[in-house]
Structure formats: C-alpha cells, structure tokens
Amino acid sequence: MVVDYNLVNQILDIEWEMFQAVKSASPASCQNAPDSFRKIRGSIFETWPNKILESYLDDLINAQNSGKNLLTEKYARMDNLIPLLNANPLINEIVNIETGWQKELKQKYPSIYALSCRGMDPVKNGSNFSVYLKCELETYSNKTIERYYSHVKKAFDNKKNIAVKAMDRLVKKAGYKDIEHAENYLTTTGKAGGKK
C-alpha cells in the first residue's frame, strides 16, 4: 500500500487546528506538542488506504464548512457531555476487532504498551481505549465508517494487526529500527530512548 502523504498531511493540519480548540475535562498532553500529535496521529493514518483518507478528509472539510469541530465532539462524547452522535452498528464491530488488536499488542509488546497506549480497564472515560475509539468513530460519516470497517475486517480476516503496524511506524519515528527493537530497548533499560 502506497501512503498518500499529501492526504495525511491535509488531515493532520485540520485535526491539529480542531484539536487546539478542544476544551476537555481531561486535557490531552499532546495539545501542547504538535510534533508528537502529528507523529502519533500520522502513524495511524499511514495505515489507512487512500479511499478512507479521502472520505475522512471530506468529513473534516464538511465539518469545518458547517462550523463543527469533530475533535471537540469526540472529547465531549468521551466526557459524556453530549448524546450519541452515530448509532451505526459497524462502530461496535470495529471497536471489538481493534480492542482485540490492543490486547495482542499489550501481550507481545508490554513495555511499549505501558508507555504509549490507552488502557483497557473498565472505566467510562477516554483513558479507556474502547471508549476513545468509539467516540472518535461516532464523529465519522457513515461512508467513512463503512470504508474503515471494510479495511479493519479485511485485516482481521487475514490475521493482520493494524495496531501493531501503526505502532511500528510510530517507534520508527522515535528513532528505533522497528517495534521489536523498541520493545527490547524499553524492556532492557526501562526507559524510552531510540537510535540505540
């Protein structure tokens, strides 16, 4: 799959602009760190086929044109301040698959997981991976959700873990050779580093 970095960068530009306007009950540390934000979000978007990137970019542009902020809506949902945004049943299917991927990521790469992933403990706020993902997916259009579900389901059926792929991209941006190198370094030293 060839990543269209132009699409990724357009998405990141709009998301960052929206993210800066978010006033959450639990502010995210990366709101003051644009480079970290771009690396983290970019690593996820780089695993998406162009048809999903195009659809999500349309969602962001349509939201801007109508005066909506999708990231404000996501965080408002995470804080339980607004009602359900989208009841598309595919959302729960996606969340179930991706939660399984997170469990696999935690099992295979516990040091990386502890350092950089949301938990899966049964809390009802954005510190829980499933809550975070569900609230984000609710801000997507049905077209984007359907395309995203097809991508996730295909990977799942082919025994591929997109969460591991995204994390591999992220640790490379931090200076590690790959996810195995990052896990080994973190396990051995007990601290983040890279380029070792």
With CA atoms as reference, report the closest residue to 10 among 63, 64, 54, 51: 54
pTM, full prediction: 0.89
CB neighbour class for 141 (10 Å; exposed up to 12, middle 13-18, buried from 19):
middle
Q: Is the pLDDT of residue 182 over 80?
A: yes
Q: Where do the domains of the chain lie?
A: 5-189
What mean pLDDT comes out for the span 115-143?
76
Mean pLDDT of 98-109: 94
Average pLDDT over residues 65-88: 95
* Residue range 128-139: mean pLDDT, rounded: 94
Give residue 127's pLDDT band: very low, low, confident or very high (50, 70, 90). low
Q: Using only C-alpha atoms, what is the Rg of the chain?
A: 16
**Does the CA dihedral 65-71-74-79 come out positive or negative?**
negative
pLDDT mean over 165-194: 87
Region 110-137 average pLDDT? 74
